[in-house]
Amino acid sequence: MIDSALVLAQQSFPAPLGDSMLAHYLFVSAAMFVIGLVGFVTRKNMIIMFLCTELMFQGAGLALIAFGRHHLGADGQTFVIFVLCVAAAEAAMALALVVLLFRHRETLSAEAWKELNG
Amino acid sequence: MSMEVIQLGLLMDLPILAALLIAFVGKPKNAYKIALITSLITVLPMLGLLASFDWSHGDQYQFAWSLSWLPDLGLNLSIGVDSVAMLLIALSVLLGPIVVLASKRAIIENRKMYYAWLMVLQAAMVGVFASRDLLLFYIFFEFTLLPMFILIRVFGSTNRVAASMKFFLYTFTGSMMTLAGMVYVVYFVSTQTGVWTLDIATLTHHAGAMSLTEQTWVLAALLAGFAVKVPLFPFHTWLPLAHTEAPTAGSVILAGVLLKLGTYGIYRFAIPLAPNAFYEYAPAIAVLAIIGIIYAGLICWVQTDIKKLVAYSSVSHLGFCVLGLAALNVSGFSGSILYMLSHGLSTGGLFLMIGFMYERYHTRDMRQVAGLASKMPVWATFMVFFAMASVGLPGLNGFPSEVLCLISAFQSDAAWSAAGEPGAWGSTLGPWFAVFAGTGMVIAAMYLLYMVGKICFGPLVEPKDHGHHGDPIPKDLTAREITSLVPLTAGCLFFGLQPTILLDAIEKPVNATVNLVEHSVESMNASNEQTDFNIIAEGANP
Amino acid sequence: MIQLTPQLTTLLSTLTNPMVALSDPAAADPHAAATTAHAVGEVGHGPAWVLLIPFLPLLGFVLNAIYAAIGNKSKLPAWTTVGLLAVAFATTLSMFLSYDGSPYTVHAFDWIQVHFGDKSMIADFSFYVDKLTILWMLFVTGLATLIALYASEYMSNDIGTGYCRFFSAFGLFVFSMSCLVMGDNLLMLYLGWEGVGLCSYLLIGYFYKKPSAVAAAKKAFIVNRIGDLGLALGIYLTFVHFGTLEFAELFSNEKLMGYVADASVGNFSAIPGQAQWIALLLMIGAFGKSAQFPLYVWLPDAMEGPTPVSALIHAATMVTAGVYLIARMYPVFLVSEFALPTVAWIGTITAVLAATIGMAQFDIKRIMAYSTVSQLGYMFAGLGLLTTTGAAFHVLTHAFFKALLFLACGAVMHGFAGQLDLRKLSGVAWMKGWGIVGVTMLIGCMNLAGLPYITSGFYSKDMIIAEAFVTPGYSIIGWLLIVTAILTAYYTFRVYFRVFVGPQHAEPGNEHHDHDDHAHGEEHNHDAGQHGDHHSSGFHPHAPGWAVNVVLAVLAFASIAAISLAYIDKAEHHGWVGSMVHDSTAYFHSPYVEQAHHAAEGTAHAVDGPVGFKAPKAVFGMDAHTAMILITGIGGIFGVLVAAFFHGPKGWQGLFIGGRTEAAKCRMDAVARRFGPIPKMAENKWYVDEIYHAILVAPLRVFSHVLHWLDKLLVDGLVNLFGFLPRLFAWVIRPSQSGVLQGYAVNMAGGVVILLVVVIVVVLRAGGAA
Amino acid sequence: MSEKLALIVPEILLFITTCIVMITGQWPQRAVRQFTPWICGIGLIAAAGAATATPDAVGTLFPALIPYTKVIIAMVGLLLLLLLSGTVDRDIETDVDRGLKFNPINSNRGEFYAFFLFSLTGLMLTVSADDLIWMFLALELTSLPTYIMVTISTKEHKSREAGVKYFFLGALGAATFLYGFAMLYGATGTTNLAGIAQHFATNGISSIGMMGMLVALLGICFKIAAFPMHFYTPDVYQGAASPVSAMLAFVPKTAGFIAMILLLATVGWHAELGLPGEINALLWIIAAFTMTLGNALALIQRSVKRMLAYSSIAHSGYMMVGLIAGPGQSGDPFWRNGIAAVLFYLLCYGVMTTGVFAVLSAIEKRNGQEADDIDDIRGLCKSYPALGWVLVICTLSMLGFPPLLGFIGKFGLFSSGVSSGNIGLVVVLGINSAIAAWYYLGLIAAAYLDSPGDSVSTVTASPFVSRKIAGVISAGCVVLLLVFAQPLIEGARNAAALSPATPNAADHAPLAPDPRHDEDH
């Protein structure tokens, strides 16, 4: 039993992610995306909101990695690395923005900014 | 490029040049002069064209010229006129000096803007009729909206903003549908011939092959623009408003030419491009036209605003024009085209009269002004003349066309017309259409005499505060005003007494159009019979 | 009406016109018929000078318009008009004299021509001349000349103001009337028809500052237009059915000939319905123009116009256009089963109705107007009874004596400052300078009353009434017409006895020529007190001048002299008019009908005898004609005597039976009271105007207002609603743009989810369906 | 590798320019500082020149897309550059005028222009994208700089508010299409677009692939400001300085449309049925809603910039008609090629909208605030005739008034929509054009027909001539391109030609025959 598993592992390493396993990963990734989305929508603190978008990005990233493993290609992982870079850049911007806004309104609430409407 | 093409081009270019001159070089006080001189000069090439036009081949495009513009869209600057277009161009050009003359005293502020746009409008109107390219036609057709919008919006009376908006938006909405319909036809023809062409003659030749359903939709789309423009009941409500608010020159041009774009569109596009559908729905269109005749006529009868009355009378009159088209026979088309040419003269005349009155009294309310014959006999004489022309008195312009339109309604029912006449091959309308439309004659007499009776006759009534506005006003019409009326008067008499000249001129194209419709209807009937036969044959052979 | 139908059939096939009872050699002679038929079929071209007849009056119109434009302040317009009309009349006379018996056309210019396929619709500006045309044109131009002469004096108060306008409209009228009568096609006829309507409108509304005149003008035009609609539709239908508008072609149309042949044997079912409709539609036009019930209401009101206008247009010429139309289109009427009976009955009803109203009026011009309506009723009855000769003869005599009556009344009106109330005038004939008016008025009244043998009116009226009795089933019309004749005699002499004889009395009217800019009244006030015998101080009647008197005298002479017309050609055609009518399509037994009949002879519908031969029928044991001379003659005299008794002054002037001593009181006053409200109702014209207003005009006006509101609210409202929809939509969705970041996020996320779900569901359903 | 590099020479040139600009923008000498925009211009011209020389991208879906698209990007970029001058650092330069020392720390000029060029670089990279990763990065490169540009474009609160909204919602949108990309990759096992297309064509579109496509498209809707991702648009356009708004109207929108075109090409357009059902339905609904929403909300605005923002939304809706219509068969002419129509319309829209925003940028209120209310432009043709006429001409063109450029562009959309059988959508487009006429006319009437006397607040010209020039050039293009439109249309048609080698998933997908087309067979 162990042998056969080992042989199997040796024969096709790295082994493709099975469909059922993939589903688990995808479920987690979807959950992360949705949690991020829900958090974005419900939380008023801008930093937390930003973190939620990060969660969404990483949810997508997780899916990419899972798919990459599923297809046994490097594309997914490559993609994720770039996503992480972009996320980092966005994080920098977000922090700068949040600081700028806090200076003007003394609050981190997104609802403080609703002069433009209609 | 032949001499004639240059002349045709001049009809469009001269007004544009004048507009540029007025807008960018001239002083406000010269605007009127430049416009007047240009519009007078423009008459010369027009007369030249009339002289060199080969009337015996009126159904062919003459003075044709084409320049590829956007080959990828199939758009060519291709101009040329058949006799119908030639006559309508002549009408547009002739109205030019008249409206300029009539504007001298009415327009005091913003003269540069006014005359420049008036000139642009002149050019655009010529362009509409001179286009041999579908898209070019559409471009000019739409373009006329802008000058008119500006004339109403800036130079109109109190409710001008709403009027101009309604005018623009209503017609624009309709014509967007028209564009869609036109594009569909072009597309269809391209699937048939493999060539994407906007050439009207080619399109006309192939469009009849569309299925009835397709044609119905195309017709609906085309009519969406043209029926609003005509305006056909119940799409007419912009017209009274626009007419009432527009400056005199605007009303004259609106009545004289712009409304005719709708009927011209129906004649030139809706009927040839969707012949079977038009044949199918002609009774419905005629019913709308007749409702318009009666409905608008009765509404005229209870107006107190004299300009609104005349505006509604346009709706009523144009009903005859559409009725003639819906009859789909030679007399109907002839009458309708004659109506297009002649209606503007009498209605335009009435608008001029009202404008002259308004300049003196600053009111159009018949309760405030009445019995002017004793004060302004010359004015009243012209008023009665144009009212009678509008009533459709024989010998004046309205009559021949009205007669032909009504006769055509009778004739278009096969049961009532002799076989062998083109257009007598089926029943679109019938005698009842003529009977009901004929009541329009009575109603026209009712409201126009009501108007004349109030405004010209009876004891003199003048508004109390008139004369407080601006310069002192001469009592009766001035020489300039009479000069602007004389061509219209002469035109009314000419159309009334010599319609044969015009009828001969349009005979060829009209017959060609009727034959085209007849051919399409017959071939569709034949193919339907063939299908029926096939079905029967198949049914008999299980 | 239904029971009439077979009778008309009989009429057509078996009637014998007493006037041709002695047989008509020309008609019976096949050779003569063929010759004339040839002439009908191929119409030659006439001399161009005939064009002078319509165009000289038109020249008058133009010249007068120019005079008006340059502000002429003399009698030049009148003399221009009189001169031109006289030349036109002379031309007409020469046309009459040079007429060789075959109709011809004169082409002025092309008018309306449409060509479709191998056919065309041609209506040129051309003139068609046959004897019917000549007959009409003779009295039109003749009377127009005379009346223009009369008007030159009558309208002289308006010199410098409306004088040119009056005469230019006058010229235009004669031109239009010429087109109507001489037009060679139906559209020309229509042109003239509408043209005379226009002139009528302009001239009724001549005193345009007077609201009642304006209203009357409007009413005349609009009521006429209703008729014109029928006429127009009839014309269109004629074209659609027969394929031509030209008389020459129409009357040689094989279809029409076939129909006439069918009609002559009573086989109306062989005639298509649409052909029968033509006559009914044309008839409506005739009713409008000739003021027949129910479209007569405009004519009495039309008396608002100057009296020469009333005389020429609204008595002598224009109103007979309906008669002319039916006469001209007689073959078309013959082929319609119901048209001629309807014409006969409508004519009779109009005659009776108008006479009853005329009896109760006090305005002498209105009495004359109603008498015109009534007499037109006679003419229509005559047409309906197939005696076009009688109708045309009555048109002619009526033109003379009614013009005379109007002009006399006009002289009175002119002289007494617009006074027309017969209660306020008396003994006018005895006033200084009014003798000729008195005498000529008497002649006119006698003609209208139809006093036997001495008046032409008697002959023409008698011809119609007699016809009613020889036509099976129509004697009731005859009796009604006789009663009307008595009423006519009564109300005519009522006017004469009250206004022209008896004690002299005059109250001036309140109309100081308010159409004048210069005060006409003042002119007469300077010699106040010199005429103390007049009740109104400061007023003296303005006796007519030479022009008026000459015209009155000529007309009086003409209306007597017209008696002779009844005797010329009596043997052949029952009078000169008969001979004129005979050679035209108007005659039901004309060569045209003969020809049609011959055409039909070869067919299965061959008939026993020629069309229109009536079996002589005895009335009261006498020849119908003789009987009628007695009955109507006695009736007329009776009517005069009744008038004399009730209205005549004491003494010989009242034929010794009258008892009136004052202007305003007479025996009738007491009698009228006995009748309760009836005289009042008659005076109020049986409230016909009010009824029309209540059931037609007012509802239509209300309806129009409703439409106007509908247009504003519903039609435009819908447009505005569609215009408003985008805005409404915008206001509805505007809250989605709340400006709150989370709100946007929710919207976006929600939008994405909803779209995904919708798309998947939509596609699944579409896929499932497929 | 070198073939790939040859394709992105313009981007490389732009990137180099960006680096230079970053430095020169902070240069102590004013002359050098002020030369910065010129450097940008040179870079853009160089990029445009390089773009014309770009070879066909072999193996991609639209091999000839690059030259035309990048040239129009560079050209509109030049216009935007003219417009952007003076947006930042105005106070600093005033201070320097008054003798204060220039402090590079406070200056934003360098990064502002750099960001602008970065954004354009991103846009160009989107055009070159043949891979999902590339596309993602290019799209982010397009957007990220704009977030900052919006925020720093004015010193007012509204810019910050605009910035924060734009940034956060942008992140949400990016996450969405990223997730879609992930699913696309998952479904096909490749990130290469041509590979994806190949996979779809051979294996059909799996449900996860379809889902991925839908989600990706929805995410990209943010870039093109289409329903349901359009909510940020009016706030951001209003909050940003007018030149930046103009840029937002063109740059991200173009990037989004290019991305969409490339993505849609992977599933392909069926010869008769067009896009696969789900995608067609999605785009149909989005297009219809986007136009209608945009136009309806624009109707009730008083702020001209908000109005233009909504009109920008509406225009996205119009252009989606072209997307749905697709490029037709290879060799199909312009009127059938919806993608060509979109590419051409992007140019038209870029020029028109730049013109209008240029007018708004070229005037300001007396208190230095931006002109925004419709009253501010009242009577502009009298007070500033050149600007007024630019506004009138460009607005008329946006209205689609014949014969201006916008009409020609719209006609392309019309004809492709009709000839691809999407007549219903064309009707919606027509009705929307009419609704749009309402507010455009209001704008025209305010600028041209009303007199300045009606205006509540008075405006004055802003001191930047280049903005005026930008406006005049835009208006000039709107008119003159009419005459010279043919090469552009031809270019668009060539650019939008789908590679004949492209496998078409839609053609292979088992689809039920549509009864509509029965009569054609």
Angle between helices C388-415 and C131-154 (to 10 degrees): 0
DSSP state of B269: I
Using beta carbons and an 8 Å cutoff, which residues of C are at the interface with D? Answer: 726-727, 729-731, 733-734, 736-737, 739, 741, 743-745, 747-752, 754-756, 758-760, 762-763, 766-767, 770
Residue D125 has pLDDT above 90, yes or no: yes
Report residue B269 CA to chain centroid gap: 14
H helices present in B456-498, as ranges: 479-497
Q: How far is C127 from chain B (nearest CA, A)?
A: 15
- pLDDT tens, position by position, B179-199: 999 999 998 998 888 888 888
Lowest mean pLDDT among B415-429, C30-44, C728-742: C30-44
Rounded to the nearest 5°, which phi and psi values hold at C115? -115, 125
pLDDT at C42 over 70: no
The average pLDDT across D363-381 equals: 85
List CB contacts of C187: < 8 A, sequence separation 6 or more.
B394, B403, C111, C112, C123, C235, C245
Token pair for residue B270?
């809706």
Q: What is the pLDDT of residue C1?
A: 36
Low-confidence ranges of chain A (pLDDT < 70): 1-14
- Judge: D234–C737 Cβ closer than 8 Å, yes or no: yes
Q: Are C117 and C147 in contact (CB under 8 A)?
A: no
What is the phi/psi pair of residue D88, to 5°?
-110, 165
Residue among B140, B149, B183 with most chain D CBs within 10 A, to mutate: B183
Residues 6+ positions from C181 with CB-CB distance below 8 Å: C133, C136, C137, C140, C192, C321, C324
C-beta atoms surrounding B219 within 10 Å = 27
| d(C-alpha B142, C-alpha B135), whole Å | 10
pLDDT of B419 reads 44
Rounded to a whole number of angstroms, the distance from the CA of C763 to the nearest CA of chain D is 6
How near does any CA of chain C get to the CA of D179, in Å?
13
Which ipTM did the prediction report? 0.90
Residue D243 confidence (pLDDT): 92
A105 interfacial to chain C (CB closer than 8 Å) = no
* Tens of pLDDT, residues D162-194: 999 999 999 999 999 999 999 999 999 899 999
* CB contacts, 8 Å: A48 with chain C: none
In the chain, the amino acid numbered B251 is S
CA gap C364, B272 in Å, rounded: 64
Q: How far apart are CA B529 and CA C79, in angstroms?
A: 74
Across chain C, mean pLDDT equals 80
pLDDT at C437: 87
Model pTM score? 0.89
- Cβ neighbours of D297 in C, within 8 Å: 730, 733-734, 737
For residue B399, the chain C residues in CB contact (below 8 A) are: 191, 194
Cβ of C762 within 8 Å of Cβ of D281? The answer is yes
Rg (CA), chain D: 22
- Note whether B70 contacts D418, CB cutoff 8 Å: no
- Do residues B118 and B166 make contact, with C-beta atoms less than 8 angstroms apart? no
Q: Is C301 on the interface with B (CB under 8 A)?
A: no
CB proximity D484 to C under 8 Å: no
Under 8 Å between Cβ of C381 and C322: no
Q: Which residues of C573-592 are buried (b: 16+ CB within 10 A; e: fewer)?
A: bbbbbbbbbbbbbbbbbbbb
Distance of alpha carbon C434 from alpha carbon C428, whole angstroms = 7
DSSP 3-state of C112: strand
**pLDDT at D135 > cutoff 50:** yes
d(CA D419, CA C410): 80
Q: Does residue C11 contact residue C348 with C-beta atoms inside 8 Å?
A: no
User: Span D362-376, mean pLDDT?
Assistant: 85
**Are C745 and A41 a contacting pair at CB < 8 A?**
yes
What count of CB pairs under 8 Å joins B to D?
A: 90
Q: How far is CA D337 from CA B474, C473, D327, D420, D517, in A?
A: 64, 85, 4, 9, 20
Omega cis (within 30) before B234: yes
- What mean pLDDT value characterizes chain B? 87
Sign of the torsion angle spanned by Cα atoms B347, B349, B352, B353: negative
pLDDT of C16 reads 33
Instruction: Kindly tell me the burial class for residue C542, based on how many C-beta atoms sit within 10 Å of its own C-beta (0-12, 13-18, 19 or more).
Output: middle
Q: What is the tens place of the pLDDT at every residue in D47-61?
A: 999 998 888 888 788
The pLDDT value recorded for residue B418 is: 47
Q: Which residue of B has its CA nearest to D450?
A: B154
Residue type at position B189: V
Q: Which residue has the higher pLDDT, C615 or B154?
A: B154
| Mean pLDDT (whole number) for C9-35 | 37
Structure-model confidence comparison of residues C664 and D373, the more confident one: D373
The yes-or-no verdict on residue C692 having pLDDT over 70 is yes
Q: Residues near B527 by Cβ (< 8 Å), separated by ≥ 6?
A: none
pLDDT of residue C746: 92
Nearest to D189 among A29, A73, A100 (CB): A73
CB pairs under 8 A between C and D: 86
Q: What residue type is B183 in one-letter code?
A: V
- Note the Cα C58 to chain centre separation in Å: 22
Q: How confident is the model at residue B472 (pLDDT cuts 50, 70, 90)?
A: low
CB B123 within 8 Å of CB B38: no
pLDDT of D324 reads 93
Mean local confidence (pLDDT), D261-265: 92
Say if residues C377 and C302 touch (Cβ distance below 8 Å).
no
Question: Looking up tokens 């003048």, which residue turns up?
Answer: B462
Q: Does A71 touch chain C (CB under 8 A)?
A: no
Higher-scoring residue by pLDDT: D431, C160: D431
Q: D512 — phi, psi (to 5°)?
A: -70, 140
D395-435 pLDDT per residue, tens:
999 999 988 999 999 999 999 999 888 999 999 999 999 99
> B492 CA to chain C: closest CA distance, Å?
14
pLDDT band at B147 (very low <50, low <70, confident <90, very high): very high
pLDDT 10s digits, D58-79: 878 888 889 999 999 999 999 9
D154 CB near a chain A CB, below 8 Å? no
Closest-CA distance of chain B to residue D401, Å:
7
Cβ–Cβ gap D168/A53 under 8 Å? yes
Q: Is residue C315 a contact partner of residue C346, using CB atoms and an 8 Å limit?
A: no
Measured CA to CA in angstroms, residue D380 lies from C722, D387, D388 at distances of 31, 7, 5
Measured distance CA(C374)–CA(B428) in Å, rounded: 44
Identify which of C315, C578, C602, C640 has the alpha carbon closest to the alpha carbon of residue C450. Answer: C640
Confidence band for C577, pLDDT divided at 50, 70 and 90: confident
Domain residue ranges in chain A:
17-110
Task: Give D442-459 pLDDT, tens digit per residue.
Answer: 999 988 888 776 555 578
Do C373 and C346 contact (CB within 8 A), yes or no? no
Mean pLDDT of C54-74: 88
Chain segment B431-456, per-residue pLDDT in tens:
888 889 999 888 999 999 999 988 88
Instruction: Select from A37, A113, A118 the Cβ nearest to the Cβ of C741.
Output: A113
State the Cα–Cα distance between residues C648 and C650, nearest whole angstrom.
7
Of D346, D145, D175, D310, nearest to D233 by C-alpha is D310
Contact yes or no for D401 and B135 at CB 8 A: no
Contact C252, C189 (CB under 8 A): no
DSSP D177-192: HHHHHHHHHHHHS--B
pLDDT the model gives residue C538: 56
- Return all residues near D329 (Cβ < 8 A) that are at least 6 apart: D271
Q: Which element (helix H / strand E) includes C704?
A: helix C698-710
Instruction: Say if residue C592's pLDDT is above 80.
Output: no
| Number of CB pairs, chain B paired with chain C, less than 8 A apart | 162
Model confidence pLDDT, tens digit, residues C201-235: 999 988 888 888 888 998 899 899 999 999 999 99
Question: Alpha helices of C648-687 — where are they, by DSSP H?
Answer: 667-674, 678-683
Check pLDDT > 50 for residue C156. yes
pLDDT in tens, C330-367: 888 888 888 888 899 999 999 999 999 888 888 888 88
What's the fold here for domain A17-110? Helix Hairpins (1.10.287)
d(CA B103, CA C407): 49
In A, minimum Cα distance to C731 occurs at A118
Q: Tokens in use for C649?
A: 């002054």
Task: Give the amino acid at C12.
Answer: L
pLDDT digits (tens, 9 = 90+) for B371-384: 888 888 889 999 99
- Tell whether A108 is within 8 A of chain C (Cβ): no
Neighbour subunits, C (≥3 Cβ pairs < 8 A): A, B, D
Place of tokens 């029968």: C276
Mean pLDDT along residues D369-392: 88
Collect all residues of chain D within an 8 Å Cβ-Cβ radius of residue C752.
176, 215, 218, 228-229
Query: Residue B169's closest chain C neighbor by CA?
Result: C723
| Cis before D228? omega within 30 | yes
* Residue C337 DSSP symbol: T
CB contact residues (below 8 A), chain C span 94-123, against chain B: 109-119, 121
| C287, C226 Cβ separation under 8 angstroms | no
Read off the pLDDT of residues B277-287 as tens digits, 9 standing for 90 and up.
Answer: 998 888 899 99
Both structure tokens of C504: 């002299």
Q: With contacts defined as CB-CB under 8 Å, which chain D residues touch A37?
A: 172
The token duo for A27 is 């479920």
Choose between D514 and D345: higher pLDDT: D345
- Residues of chain B in contact with residue D441, where contact means CB-CB under 8 angstroms, are 149, 165, 168-169
Q: Is D408 on the interface with C (CB under 8 A)?
A: no
Whether A56 sits inside 8 A of D185 (CB atoms) is no
- Least confident range from B144-148, B533-537, C92-96, D497-501: namely B533-537
C72 in helix, strand or coil? coil
Mark yes or no for CB contact D235/C737 under 8 Å: yes
SS3 call for C253: coil
pLDDT mean over C6-27:
36
The helix (run of H) or strand (run of E) holding residue B75 is: strand B75-81
Report the candidate in B492, B293, B300, B502 with the shortest Cα–Cα distance to residue B389: B492
Q: Quick one: pLDDT at residue B24?
A: 86
Touching status, chains A and B (3+ beta-carbon pairs under 8 Å): no
Question: H or E stretch including D340?
Answer: helix D338-362
